[in-house]
Amino acid sequence: MINQINYIKSKKAIDGGPVKVLVIGASTGFGLASRITSAFGSDASTVGVYFEKPPAPGKPASAGWYNTAAFEKQAHEAGLYAKSINGDAFSDEIKEKTIALIKKDLGQVDLVIYSLASPRRNHPKTGVAHNSVIKPIGEVFTNKTVDFHTGVVSEISINPATDEEIANTVEVMGGEDWGMWIDEMKAANILANGVVTVAYSYIGPALTEKVYRKGTIGRAKDHLEATAFEISDKLKDIDGKALISVNKALVTQASSAIPVIPLYISLLYKVMKEEGIHEGCIEQIQRLFEQRLYTDTTIPVDEKGRIRIDDLEMRPDVQAKVQALWAEADTDSLASIGDLAGYRSDFMNLFGFEVPEVTYGTDVNEMVEVSGLV
């Protein structure tokens, strides 16, 4: 957290950057990095929505809760507005609460980051609980995977999803909820003229295609990406636009739950670190803001209208090296040909371990006080 803030402070301010920002999915991963970049790279006021367990007697809170408390403390010390709402972003109630807070405190926002990753969504209109699955479509997918806790590489076979599972995954991770947020915010007149909203997507290599981009989660990403065009149409009258940013594969709570991906990431990290082009969430989002979203020129996009900050991951030389390592990867070789240590340390950091600035045994009540949670 502090490392991420310091990284942004070490960069020059983002010229013409955002002023008032809502981040949906703000407590970890790319969403947290987006909030930090907005606040410390552009002096923006930020509202963050997230879903984390607060501390209970004898029980620590979940990591994203502490991230948010620490972020707010730093932001407030820097004189920046920062408030957060902890609750289910898919619900009508949390949308209403967030809109009321923005209306009261900020008036309007000029940037809305949509960075939710969730295995489940309770649909606010139908009441149906949808669960997402990570499965291939059409045929069984068999490939290598690693249990990154033990380092054991094995073969995994995943049965194809049913039509119902595909539909449910699109309900959870597709674009409907993003569209609802923007519709409701627009109706409440809290979107500034020229507003930009960005959601995060992933493509990845042929190696993971059958389980990711051409699987259930890929269908949801297709839907999310199509939703960007629908939202842009609806924002035309206020000169607004919706964008997709395709980000790099990184260790987050979301990605570590996907089979095959951790093995890919451990090989990718090795190659990218050797090339000196490795980035984490904060480097990715800093580059997104400085070199894509807030420049003097038009935003560069691919043939499908998407911003690409996965450009370094997808470089042909990088992918050729990863593919060659993939062929060799087994339990014995992985420790030397892959960056399992880097994977594990990033994974531990997600939960607040191995982070030098945290003093364990910090008084939880003090954290509650500084957090200013709404």
Burial tier of 254 (Cβ tally within 10 Å: 0-12, 13-18, 19+) = buried
CB 235, min distance to ligand NAI, A: 20
**Residue 117 interacting with ligand NAI (CB under 6 A):** yes
The amino acid that residue 268 corresponds to is: L
Q: In terms of CB distance, is 31 or 41 closer to Na ion? A: 31
Interaction between residue 41 and Na ion (CB under 5 A): no
Interaction of residue 25 with Na ion, rule CB under 5 A: yes
User: And the tokens for 295?
Assistant: 């420049």
51 lines the binding site for ligand NAI (CB under 6 A) = yes
Per rule CB under 6 A, is residue 227 in the interface with ligand NAI? no
- Distance of closest approach, residue 132 Cβ to Na ion, in angstroms: 16
Please, which of residues 233-252 interact with ligand NAI by CB under 6 A?
Answer: 247, 249-250, 252
Name the segment binding ligand NAI (CB under 6 A); options: 97-105, 109-117, 231-239, 338-346.
109-117
Q: Which residues contact 187 (CB under 8 A, 6 or more apart)?
A: none
Query: Near ligand NAI by CB under 6 A, which window of 20-28, 76-84, 155-163, 362-370?
Result: 20-28
Residue 66: contacted member of Na ion, ligand NAI, none (CB under 5 to 8 Å, by partner type):
none
Q: Please, which residues have CB within 8 angstroms of residue 213's CB and are 6 or more apart in sequence?
A: 202, 203, 204, 221
Please identify which residue in 67, 115, 197, 201 interacts with Na ion, judged by CB under 5 A.
115
Among 1, 47, 116, 198, binds ligand NAI (CB under 6 A): 116
Window 321-350: residues binding Na ion (CB under 5 A): none
**How many C-alpha atoms does 182 have within 13 Å on its Cβ side?**
30
- Shortest spacing between CB 207 and ligand NAI, in angstroms: 14
- Please identify which residue in 17, 18, 29, 352 interacts with ligand NAI, judged by CB under 6 A: 29
115 binds ligand NAI (CB under 6 A): yes
Q: Which residue is nearest to Na ion (CB)?
A: 31
**Cα–Cα distance measured from residue 126 to residue 148, given in angstroms and rounded to the nearest whole number:** 39
Taking CB within 5 to 8 Å according to partner kind, which of Na ion, ligand NAI, none is near residue 64? ligand NAI
**Which positions touch ligand NAI (CB under 6 A)?**
25-31, 49-52, 64, 88-90, 115-118, 200-202, 247, 249-250, 252-255
**Which positions touch Na ion (CB under 5 A)?**
25, 29-31, 115
